[in-house]
């Protein structure tokens, strides 16, 4: 039986991360992608560390904590953030929200092959419905795949979702001794250590790299709220829920992202969005109760 508290965590995660991509896309009008990614990791590390200091819980991780910290820090925060932030400059925010969250492509088979999970027939049906919803939301027929930048952006997003899926698998294979929230400052610092050299090389400050005044509010919202709270909720939901349920549930994030992108950034809303959203909501219900 799936606990209601775990489903609430999933809802928090998908709401925050679904809304993050339109905000990030708007920030890139006055910020470069990798420096924006660095800012969200470092701000999140500082916010969570301050909260833990106030509670007297900030301590150096134990040996058992480090595999999960490395998995989250290098794969989910370093690699995933680098690829997705570069891709959002090439791909519409709504489509980025879709493809960046398709862990279902990878997490269900990985859960079967690596975790030896048994997936019920209903949850396989849910996975199929979810993938159909993703296909409708992504709208590949509307993308110009003759543009090398578009192809590169889509490839980066699929690789990013693969890295995120492996981060989830690592936290389940090697559970940390302490609550993951207490390990997150170190994971975010590790993610920042991966991203900072990339930003310095790819987006030199002397050549206009960095974050302008027009992107400061987005940086604060993403770095101080979405990144710390959303990442914790994603990790905990992925760790507690069956792989088929969490991967299908994460598909709510792109549905939310597409809606926000449509309402705020003016990205087009058509039949594909309505059908895709309906299929994804249906897949989540089937996965939850199947």
- Tens digit of pLDDT for each residue in 31-49? 998 999 999 999 999 999 9
Task: Quick: pLDDT tens for 128-159.
Answer: 777 777 677 666 655 556 667 767 877 888 88
Question: Which is more confidently placed, 207 or 194?
Answer: 194
Question: What's the pLDDT at 101?
Answer: 64
Q: In this predicted structure, what is the pLDDT of residue 241?
A: 76
pLDDT in the model for residue 93: 61
Distance CA 157, CA 152 (A): 9
> pLDDT at position 215, please?
92
Residue 53 has pLDDT above 90, yes or no: yes
Three-state SS for 104-122 is HHHHHHHHHHCCCCCCCHH
- What mean pLDDT do residues 202-211 have? 89
CB atoms within 10 A of CB 29: 10
Average pLDDT over residues 169-180: 90
Task: Render pLDDT for 79-111 as a digit per residue (tens, 0 to 9).
Answer: 988 988 888 777 766 666 666 666 666 777 777
- Beta partners for 31? 211
Min mean pLDDT across 118-127, 210-219, 241-250 is at 241-250
pLDDT digits (tens, 9 = 90+) for 220-272: 999 999 888 888 887 887 777 776 676 666 667 766 766 776 666 666 656 66
How much of the chain exceeds pLDDT 90, in percent? 31
Residue 21's closest CA among 73, 99, 75? 99
SS3 211: strand
pLDDT of residue 177: 93
What's the chain's average pLDDT?
81
Structural domain that includes position 232: 4-289
Number of domains in the chain: 1
The percentage of the chain sitting over the pLDDT mark of 70, rounded to a whole number, equals: 74
Q: HSE, CB side, 13 Å, CA atoms: give it for residue 192.
A: 18
Contact status, residue 255 vs residue 80, Cβ threshold 8 Å: no
**Secondary structure element (H or E) that encloses residue 148, with its range:** helix 148-173
Q: Alpha carbon of 116 to those of 67, 162, 235: distances in Å?
A: 20, 18, 20
Total Cβ atoms within 10 A of residue 135 = 17
At 24 the pLDDT is 83
CB-based contact 273:121 (threshold 8 Å): no
Residue 103 CA to residue 49 CA, distance in Å, equals 28
């Amino acid at each position: 039986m799936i606990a209601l508290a775990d489903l609430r965590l999933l809802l928090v995660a998908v709401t925050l991360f679904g809304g993050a991509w339109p905000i990030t896309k708007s920030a890139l009008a006055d910020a470069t992608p990798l420096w924006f990614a660095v800012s969200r990791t470092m701000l999140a590390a500082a916010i969570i560390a301050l909260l833990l200091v106030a509670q007297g819980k900030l301590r150096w991780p134990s040996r058992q904590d480090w595999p999960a910290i490395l998995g989250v820090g290098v794969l989910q925060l370093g690699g995933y953030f680098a690829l997705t932030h570069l891709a959002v400059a090439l791909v519409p925010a709504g489509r980025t929200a879709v493809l960046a969250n398709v862990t279902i492509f990878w997490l269900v088979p990985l859960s079967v092959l690596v975790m030896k999970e048994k997936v019920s027939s209903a949850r396989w049906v849910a996975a199929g419905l979810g993938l159909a919803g993703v296909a409708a939301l992504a709208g590949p027929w509307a993308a110009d795949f003759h543009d090398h930048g578009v192809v590169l952006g889509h490839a980066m997003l699929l690789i990013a979702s693969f890295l995120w899926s492996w981060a989830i698998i690592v936290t389940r294979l090697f559970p940390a001794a302490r609550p993951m929230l207490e390990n997150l400052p170190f994971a975010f610092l590790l993610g920042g250590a991966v991203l900072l050299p990339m930003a310095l090389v790819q987006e030199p400050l002397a050549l206009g790299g960095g974050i302008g005044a027009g992107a400061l509010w987005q940086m604060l919202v993403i770095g101080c709220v979405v990144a710390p709270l959303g990442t914790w909720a994603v990790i905990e939901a992925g760790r507690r829920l069956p792989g088929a349920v969490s991967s299908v549930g994460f598909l709510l994030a792109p549905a939310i992202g597409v809606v926000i992108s449509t309402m705020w950034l003016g990205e087009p809303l058509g039949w594909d969005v309505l059908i895709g959203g309906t299929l994804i909501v249906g897949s989540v219900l089937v996965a939850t109760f199947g």
